[in-house]
């Protein structure tokens, strides 16, 4: 059986999509599958795939199929179906967008990360909503849809009326690099970035959906002068973070590190006193899980998919209430016993999520 995989986001693409595509493909090619994996890749990135050691040493048969570098939704809707037919693909895994016409010989499996734009349009630009709506319009053409939480499965059903038997849930995994760091590594990273010994950390995009203003506004209400460290880049839906910080007169308590490479970021995460994730809405919510795997206590919001993923291993707060957030942060900051309990529960919870498990479930769905 020839299984096609839309791999255009393997090296470049939206951050969340790139994480999902790369990890799933890396695990799939390690499997001793009788199937042939045909990876549909950007034409200008073919050489990058050919130089990947994990592809050369794979136990599975891998074919690379070049795709012209055009917007993902146009490629999926129009170009990939012709390439599937030309290359005799039996099952094809798409990212977000299902083609607008079906093939007799190819089954379509579409991974849809989320439909958040339908319930939270205020967090997306007009152009984003226009393009994302194509996901909904052509999702009916998928033989099977895979999403990343039961929260998103119910959202898809609610907005499309697609039979729930055609929608499967596969939880994302946690990269094995996310783990508690040694005291030596923690001290080293604190010195490298001149961080305080106690700090609250946020990692992610600095936009309105991630609800950074509430986190910043909670800072003056804390009982201690603990610092806040922000890792991440601003995007089109960002807000004026500097003005917010200045208006609250907490410039000396907020550090913006911008983009940080993976190795340093993992060590900063494990060294944090608390990881705070104030997001209004998530399709899954991977950062809190990565923090738990790193041995860091987590304070996060009680909405969308986050309680489903984090269970009882975190402290929850109302995302619309900075006072509630300040109280919850204080509660964790002031109790060493609570922090130890959250670390223990977090490590146990995070251990249930792996990319190997996710790829096995994906392969089982595709084969069946």
- How many Cβ atoms are within 10 Å of 256's Cβ, its own excluded? 14
DSSP of 163-225: -GGGEEE------TT-SPPPHHHHHHHHHHTT--SSEEEEES--SGGGTHHHHHHHGGGSSS-
Residue found under tokens 């999926």:
76
Sign of torsion, CA 308 315 173 285?
A: positive
* Residue 256: strand pairing partners: 230
CA–chain centroid gap for 223, Å, is: 32
Residue found under tokens 């005291």:
183
According to CATH, the topology of domain 183-350 is Rossmann fold (3.40.50)
Residues of the chain with CATH 3.40.50.2000: 2-173+354-367, 183-350
CATH class of 2-173+354-367: alpha beta
Rounded Cα distance, 221 and 215, in Å: 11
With residue 316 as reference, give the H or E element that holds it. strand 315-317
Rounded Cα distance, 96 and 109, in Å: 10
One digit per residue, the tens of pLDDT, for the chain of length 368 reads 899 999 999 998 888 899 999 999 999 888 767 789 999 999 999 988 887 777 766 767 889 999 999 999 999 999 999 999 999 999 999 999 999 999 989 999 999 999 999 999 999 989 999 999 999 999 999 999 999 999 999 999 999 989 999 999 999 999 999 999 999 999 999 999 999 999 999 999 888 899 999 999 999 999 999 999 999 987 766 678 888 899 999 999 999 999 999 999 999 999 999 999 999 999 999 999 999 999 999 999 999 999 999 999 999 999 999 999 999 999 999 999 999 999 999 999 999 999 999 999 999 999 88
């Amino acid at each position: 059986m020839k299984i096609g995989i839309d791999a255009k986001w393997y090296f470049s693409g939206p951050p969340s999509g790139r994480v999902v595509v790369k990890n799933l493909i890396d695990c799939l090619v390690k499997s001793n599958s009788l199937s042939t994996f045909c990876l549909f890749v950007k034409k200008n990135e073919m050489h990058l795939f050919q130089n990947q050691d994990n592809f050369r040493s794979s136990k599975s048969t891998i074919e690379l199929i070049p795709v012209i570098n055009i917007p993902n939704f146009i490629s999926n809707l129009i170009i990939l179906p012709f390439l599937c037919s030309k290359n005799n693909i039996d099952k094809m895994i798409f990212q977000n967008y299902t083609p607008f016409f079906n093939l007799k010989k190819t089954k379509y499996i579409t991974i849809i990360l989320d439909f958040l734009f339908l319930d939270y349009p205020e967090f997306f630009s007009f152009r984003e909503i226009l393009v994302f709506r194509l996901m909904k319009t052509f999702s009916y053409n998928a033989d099977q849809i895979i999403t990343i939480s039961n929260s998103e499965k119910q959202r898809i059903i609610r907005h499309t009326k697609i039979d729930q038997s055609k929608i499967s849930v596969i939880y994302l995994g946690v990269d094995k690099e996310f783990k508690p760091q040694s005291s030596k590594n923690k001290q080293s990273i604190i010195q490298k970035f001149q961080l305080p010994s106690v700090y609250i950390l946020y990692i992610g995009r600095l936009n309105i959906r991630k609800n950074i203003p509430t986190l910043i506004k909670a800072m003056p209400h804390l009982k201690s002068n603990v610092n806040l460290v922000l890792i991440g880049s601003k995007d089109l839906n960002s807000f004026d973070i500097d003005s917010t910080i200045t208006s609250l007169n907490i410039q000396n308590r907020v550090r913006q590190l911008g983009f940080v490479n993976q190795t340093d970021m993992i060590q900063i995460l494990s060294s944090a006193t608390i990881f705070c994730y104030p997001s209004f809405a998530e399709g899954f919510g991977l950062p809190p899980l990565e923090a738990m795997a790193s041995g860091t206590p987590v304070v996060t919001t009680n909405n969308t998919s986050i309680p489903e993923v984090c269970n009882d291993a975190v402290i929850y707060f109302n995302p619309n209430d900075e006072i509630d957030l300040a109280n919850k942060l204080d509660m964790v900051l002031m109790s060493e016993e609570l922090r130890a309990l959250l670390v223990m529960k977090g490590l146990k919870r995070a251990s249930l999520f792996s990319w190997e498990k996710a790829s096995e479930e994906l392969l089982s769905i595709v084969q069946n």
